Amino acid sequence: MKHLFYILVFLLFADELLAQEKPNIIFIFADDLGYGDIGCYGQQKIETPNIDRLAQKGMKFTQFYSGSTVCAPARSSFLTGLHTGHTAIRGNKSYAPEGQTPLPDSIITFANILQQNGYATAAFGKWGLGFIDNSGDPNKKGFDKFYGYNCQSLAHDYFPPYIWDNHDKVDLSVNKTNDSIYSASLIHNKAIEYIKQRSSSKPFFIYLPYTLPHGDVIGPHDELYNYYVKKFNEQPLTGNALRTRAHNMIPEPLPHAQFAAMVGRLDKYVGEIVKAIEEMGLAENTLIIFTSDNGPHKENGGDPEFFNSNGIYKGIKRDLYEGGIRVPFIAYMPGKIRSSVVDKPAALWDMYPTFLQMAGVPVKKNIDGISLGPTLFQTGKQKQHEYFYWEFHENDGRQAIRWGKWKAIKLAVTKISDPAIELYDLDNDPQEINNIAAQNPEIVKKMAGLFSKEHRFDPGWPLLFKEISK
C-alpha cells in the first residue's frame, strides 16, 4: 500500500514536474530601435541601464540581423522561421477592414507548436499580421492571449482611440479629446499582470512586440522626458517643422527629448520584466531575449543622425544596408547563459528552431532558421548559415545577401530587369563605403546565382520581379 501511495503521488504531479523542466521564454521586440540606440551598443546620449545590465550579464550578439527592414515581414520571418524570399508576408501592405496582409491559413507558427506542446502563450504590443477573425488572427497563430494594436498604422499614435484584447475592442475614446491613456504603458502593465499570474505548473512563451520607439515621436511629458529636455537644452520646433497629428492633438515640439524618453521608457519596461520574473522565482528557468525589428526610423520626429542610431553602419529603416537590418540582440538566462560577446552572424528566423529545441520539440518542416541552442547554452558545435538573404517590396524593390564576409545588394529590381550588384567586404568595410564589385567578378557571379536561387515568386506579392517574371 505504501508503494502504491507513492506511485499515485508521482502520477499526480508528473505533469507538473515535466512542465517545470521546459524553460519559459520571453521575447522583447523593440520597434525601429537602431543598432546604436542603446548604451551597450555605443549610444552616448540616451541612458539604458537595464538593457545594458542584461548585455553585461548575458550574451550580446554583434552581428545579429532582423528578418526585414520594416515591421510586418520582420514579424512574419520571426514567427515562421523563413527569410523574406520564402515567408508569406514580404512587405507592409494594408488589408481591409483593418491591419495588414494576414498570414495565410496554411502557416503554422512556432507559437502554434509551443501551444500544442503545453505552453501558455501570450503577445502584448503590435501584431500587424492579420485582423481578428481572418487567417492572420493572433489567436489562430498560436497565442492564447493578445493585447495591443492589431494594425501597424494605428500604432503610430500612442494615444489611440482603441486597442484590442483578443477579439474585444478596448475603448480608449477619451484620447480623441485628451491625451489621457498612453498605450505603451497600458500594454506593458498588462504584460506584467500576465507574468505575475503565471504558475509553475505550465511553461510560458510571452511575445512582447512593444511599439517603442516607433514614430510618431510623441508621449507623456513625464519625469523622464523632462530629464532629457534639461539634458539636451533643445529648442522647440515651430511652424512647419511641427507635424499635426490626425486627431489634432498637440504635436511634440521637442522630439529629441521625447525620442530619448521613449527609449528610456523601453529600458524601464525591460527592467520591470526582469524584476517580475525574479520576484516570481522564475529567473533561472526563463530565457529573456531583447532585440529590434529593423533599423532606426526617420519618421515623424525620428532623428538617427542626432543620436547616431545606426552606429557606424550605413542605412536606416527601409534600407538593406547594415544599418537597416543589423540590430541589437541580447540573450539572458542566469545560470544557463554565460556572460559573453558573440561575433558570429545570426538572424531572426533562427528563433523558430531555437525555441522549439528549448521546448524539446522537433522541427518537422523545411525552414531557413538554424537553432542557436549550441551557442546560447554551450551544448555543442554551432551550425552556421551558408548565407543570409533579404528582399524588400518597397522603394522600387531591393535584395541583399550576406555570404561569409561578402555583402551584395541590388536596388530598383522592379524598375530595371538586371540591376547592377553592389558588393562590399564587411570584414574590411563594415560601413559599406567601397563598392568593389568591379574588382571581384567571380564573387559577383556567385551572388547573382544566390539571388536567383532564393527568391520564390509569390502572386500575393507581385511587386518584386514583376517585370522580370513576365
Separation of first and last alpha carbons in the chain: 78
Residue boundaries of the structural domains of the chain: 23-385, 389-454
Distance CA 146, CA 188 (A): 12
Nearest CA-CA partner of 428 in 413, 420, 439, 415: 439
Question: What tens-digit pLDDT sequence spans the chain (470 residues)?
Answer: 444 443 333 333 333 433 447 999 999 999 999 999 999 999 999 999 999 999 999 999 999 999 999 999 999 999 999 999 999 898 888 888 999 999 999 999 999 999 999 999 999 999 999 999 899 999 999 999 999 999 999 999 999 999 999 999 999 999 998 889 999 999 999 999 999 998 777 999 999 999 999 999 999 999 999 999 999 999 887 766 665 444 445 578 999 999 999 999 999 999 999 999 999 999 999 999 999 999 999 988 899 999 999 999 999 999 999 999 999 999 999 999 999 999 999 999 999 999 999 999 999 989 999 999 999 999 999 999 999 999 998 888 899 999 999 999 999 988 888 899 999 999 999 999 999 999 999 999 999 999 988 765 454 544 333 332 22
Round to whole Å and give the CA distance between 26 and 273.
Answer: 9
- pLDDT score for 389: 97
Rounded CA separation 330/341 (Å)? 9
d(CA 167, CA 128): 15
Lookup: cell for 268 = 524601464
The three-class DSSP label of residue 114 is helix
Query: Quick one: cell of 73?
Result: 515581414
Fold of 23-385: Alkaline Phosphatase, subunit A (3.40.720)
The verdict on pTM exceeding 0.85 is yes
pLDDT computed for residue 243 by the predictor: 57
* pLDDT of res. 241: 62
Distance between CA atoms of residues 393 and 395, nearest Å: 7
Query: What is the CATH code for 389-454?
Result: 3.30.1120.10
Of the candidates 305, 316, 309, the residue with the CA atom closest to the CA atom of residue 432: 316
**Torsion region of 404: left, alpha or beta (phi above 0 gives left; psi -120 to 50 gives alpha):** left
pLDDT, residue 247, reads 43
Longest dimension (CA), the chain: 85
Q: Is 454 helix (H, G, I), strand (E, B) or coil?
A: helix
- Residue 420's pLDDT is 96
